[in-house]
Amino acid sequence: MHRFRNALAALLVLAPAGALAQAPAPAPLPPLRPDQVAFRAIYQELVETNTTLSAGSCTAAAAKMGARLKAAGFPDGDLTYFADPTHPKDGGVVAILRGSDPKARTVLLLGHIDVVEAHREDWTRDPFTLVEENGYFYGRGASDMKSIDAVWVDTMIRLKQAPKPPKGTLKLALTCGEETDGSFNGADWLAKNRPELVRGDFGLNEGGGGRLDDQGRRETLAVQVGEKAYQDYRVTVTNPGGHSSRPRPDNAIYQLAEALLKVRGYAFPMKLSDTTRAALAPRAERADPAGLALKRFFANPADLEAARAAAADVSINAVLHTNCVATLLAAGHAPNALAQRATANVNCRIFPGESVEQTRQALVGVIADPAVKVEATDPDKPLAVPPPLDPAVIGPMKAVAAKHFPAVPLVPSMAAGASDAVYFGQIHMPIYGVPGIMGDPDGNGVHGLNERLRVRSLYEGRDYMFDLVKAYAGAS
């Protein structure tokens, strides 16, 4: 890794610190080009195909994208549909665009087509209708990650229809199961069962993108190189229970609640890695309280007061250390009985270099109640292997950025969330979070209500990603 650290310093930080704040307000979008109209139809079809676990079908979405690829000229032999018989709705598709030069690189374009649940009654608009309003696209998956899925399908179609095939081979894998634990994960299944369909020199996935400031001005482009490990812990309290007309001081629900409040109050040790220091550098230039504190922490990593002040910004806090939060609760067996069991799910995002067991022991130490059991649930995700900062991958990202996003720094980022990239460690294949589509500071409602994406971010990101893939594949 050492060799790349210096390359990183040389490669990535493009713009001097002060240049960021003055980014001009973006010009209004010109009327759509015909290729953008065709692209928008793919995006709309994806967003409007419900792919939630509860009510949707990834298999249906994959079939629709496969039909578009076939119509564009992909022979049946280069389209592979896959689904597990026990999960018929969690299927996916792999498409291969064979290059003309067997010595050229093979690149995988990876995208999960499933989305997090969304309830119509909670949203302002129907989450499964693509709505374009005030410069935003709204819909479940508008940002995570049907935007990138649509760009990938569109890219494969355009390069398939190009006068000459690319030199390098391109593979597209649209998979299900990224957003849900314990169901069928297509990326994992492909890596385990059909590695030849997805194997390449490297892959591009979600997790990168870029960041706008709260005025919509471009702040950074991001290439994701690594992610925190995803781990759930079951926290359980049991109690003899009894009749609720005779409450006692010992109570499973209150005991669990006290334990969770301690978890809430605990901050895991804050630290910087090469990747997070580089990723946060632009943020430390912003003269707000969190930015100024971050700058102090950069200067003195032992200044924990500064770190805590910087962590007041939730985006900074997400990458400064391991984070754990209670996400699910279950307790009691009858309304008229004292609870005999109270259980919570505590979801942790573990900082690279820290282990699942270390984190469990930290939780036990914080709770400091031997009657409260803390167990790591079966790790359903392998540990992420950070991809190398390979100049042959990062170089083109930078070069294409200079054309599309002049003066915007390209920074490495460590994702706070987990992605399907973790499954490609099994076949020793580095996966990068692709830069290009810039998000808002508030997180665009991803996994939450009224998920949205700036129209400009999508079309500009698409143009960048198309040129980037062309650069990798040696396509003209």
Q: Which residues bind Zn ion (CB under 5 A)?
A: 144-145, 206
Find the residue with minimal CB distance to Zn ion. 144
Distance from C-alpha of 318 to C-alpha of 327, rounded to nearest angstrom: 16
Tally Cβ neighbours within 10 Å of residue 317.
18
- Min dist. Cβ of residue 425 to Zn ion (A): 18
Closer residue to Zn ion (CB): 206 or 460:
206
Strand partners, 347: 232, 325
Which lies closer to Zn ion via its Cβ, residue 110 or residue 281? 110
Residue closer to Zn ion (CB basis): 66 or 433: 433
- CB-based contacts of 374: which residues, under 8 Å, 6+ apart? 233, 234, 235, 346, 360, 363, 364, 367
- In the complex, what is the shortest distance from the CB of residue 138 to Zn ion, in angstroms, rounded to a whole number? 17
**Closer residue to Zn ion (CB): 147 or 317:** 147
Distances, alpha carbon 397 to alpha carbons 107, 313, 351, 438, in Å: 14, 28, 26, 15
- Least distance from Zn ion to the Cβ atom of residue 447, Å: 8
Q: For the CB of residue 74, give the shortest distance to Zn ion in the complex, in Å.
A: 25
Q: Tell me the closest approach of the beta carbon of residue 33 to Zn ion, in angstroms.
A: 28
Residues with Cβ within 8 Å of 27's Cβ and at least 6 positions away in sequence, in order, are none
Spell out the residues 6+ positions from residue 143 whose beta carbon is closer than 8 angstroms to its own.
437, 439, 444, 445, 446, 451, 452, 453
- Rounded to 10°, the helix 455-473/146-160 angle is 40
Of 42 and 145, the one with the shorter C-beta distance to Zn ion is 145
Give the span between the Cα atoms of 382 and 350, in whole angstroms.
Answer: 12
Q: Which is nearer to Zn ion, 149 or 354 (CB)?
A: 149
Least distance to Zn ion, CB of residue 397, Å: 20
**CA 192 centroid distance within chain:** 22
